Each structure stands twice: as structure tokens, then as C-alpha cells.
Structure 1
């Protein structure tokens, strides 16, 4: 890794519903990511940031919450989106968060940790890949999906149980994500990325 500097990973909790499972999934994921020596993790909980639902016009000043989150996203080398699947898609507050920003996502890799019923959140991930492509981000191939995630509780109440497939999936995903994060960080350092018009 260039200069041995840690990669800045922003983990976004996409659900804002009461009783949501997202923070539990994010806590597990950040615990795994934190074991690596090459990552500095920043967790963005959309239920806490409370971005406005109505986007400003081009000549209007950005709200404080949007500006503050924008600084955190701009500083990131990579993103992981933790999302449930609602009605074959991802939550509306997550789409709003994506739409508030543009350049902050560009030329950076993004990975997904998704949970849901039988699909494990794959429908949400498929749609997010299209959105991030439009934002000039690089959605990596490997993802962590958690079908019927409520079945992954261990007898002692911990989650996920040691035999869960996600323990293997997360290593593959983080290996791919960090490779892309290093490559794209070096590319951005050589030449700033100029995307097409929004």
C-alpha cells in the first residue's frame, strides 16, 4: 500500500426504521473490518445523520448535516453499504443519502452487506449497483448476503453463529474491497477523476 497509510472505510447503515437490524449487522461487520491493520473505519448511521428529505436547488446553500456528511464521504477511500431489502429494493433514506452527493462517490470502490428474507438482500444490492455506476463508483463483485438473518443467532444469543457462511464471505469481500481501494486511491493521486455531467 502506497505510503503504508491506512485506507479510510466509511460504513453506511442504510435503514432508519424503528426496530431495525442494521446496527447489529454493522457492528458485526465493523468488528471484522477492525481486525485488519489496513483499515480505519468510520460508521455513518443514517438514522443519526438525519439528512433532509428535500434536496436543495443548485444555487441554494447545503444544510449543515449534508455538509458535515459530505466531508466524511469525501475523505473516504472505500464504502460499505449495510442495507436491508424492502419490497425487492433498498430503503428510501439510503437513496436520499446517495442523491445528496455526487463527486464524493466517484472513483471509489463500494461493497455491500445485505440482509433480508430468502434473497438475503440480493435484489437491493442489484439495484444499488446500478445507482453507484451512475455515480461513477466501482461496485465490487463480492458481497455479503444474509438470507433469513434471524436464523443466524447462536444458542447464547450472539449473532451471527460461528458456522454462518458470512464469516467466510466477509474476508473475500474485504480483500477485494481493499485491493480496489488501494488501486483507485493511487489513480486519484496521479490524476483527479473527472466524471461525466450528472
Structure 2
């Protein structure tokens, strides 16, 4: 049993207002279903909020996905869940972090033969770790937000073009994280990995 809003985030589906990183991550590893609502008046003294009972059943076998890679990817997608992925992946801080990670992996792989999971990307610059932005209601549209797309030069960098080509090839450029299913997230992550772009 959880506070109702938290419980509804656990079971939220793509397109729901409460759909967030918590929803995506929980549903990757477990089947979650809402069983019943428990009103606050059922408790003495009554709390300030209602509760809900949910069933969480771990998926067996577990999905074959690198947890660090998945978490880094989902964090970026949900920086602003109602922005298009094209806008998110054009942001300076996102491109800078991904390119730094990409160059580090490129430099280390030939000399040490390491795998992509051996180098972690620094994602602390994407937001305040104390306040998870994905838990906030973000009903703003792209037009209401300042877009910092990293176009400081007329020419688009080779790496930026690589990132955007992955989004365009999979028809994800105009899609929003708040509307994507588990399968779509997994597919997009695999496309990035195939292009040599990693998130952990």
C-alpha cells in the first residue's frame, strides 16, 4: 500500500499525466496493477491523503538490459517529458555529456578493449539529484520553454548529426517521452547503442 499519487505513478501508462521515469523503470522489471483505493477516513487518525494497494510482480526472466545504460537513457528522455526527443537531444548539456562519453569510449576501446558498460557517464549536470524533475507535473509546451539546442555555429557538429540521425531514422524526433511505450524506449536505446552512443 502506498500514497495514492505514488501508486498511480507506478501504474501510469504512456499518455497519462502521471507517467514518468518511475512508471517506466518499475514496469520494465515488474508487472504492476492497481488493486483498490483506500480512503483516508479508513485510518485513525486520518492522514492527509488517500492510499492505494498495488500488486507488483517481478518479471521472470528479467529483461536483458544494462541497468546503468537504461537509467542514463531514461533520465535524459525525461528531463522534460513533454518536450520532443528532438528538442531534448539538441540541448547543449545533453549533447556535451553524450559526446564526452562517446569520445572517452572511442579512446579507451582500441587501447584497452573495454566494453561500453565500463565507463559511466556523468549525468549530474542534467538536474538536481535531490529534486527529480520527472516527478513534477510538466504541462508546458515546447513553445513555452527556452530551447537551448546547442547551435552555436552554423555548421552542425558531426556528433550532433549522428545523434539526430538516430532519432530521425527511427521516427522518434517529434515524439515525446510521455507518450512512448517500453518497447519504443528499448528500441530507441538499441538504435543509439548500434550507432556507438552509450549512456553509461
Q: TM-score, normalised by structure 2?
A: 0.30
Relative to its length, the structure with more helix (as a share) is 2
Which has the bigger relative contact order, CA under 8 A and spacing at least 6? 2
Q: Which has the larger radius of gyration?
A: 2
Relative to its length, the structure with more strand (as a share) is 1
Q: TM-score, normalised by structure 1?
A: 0.31
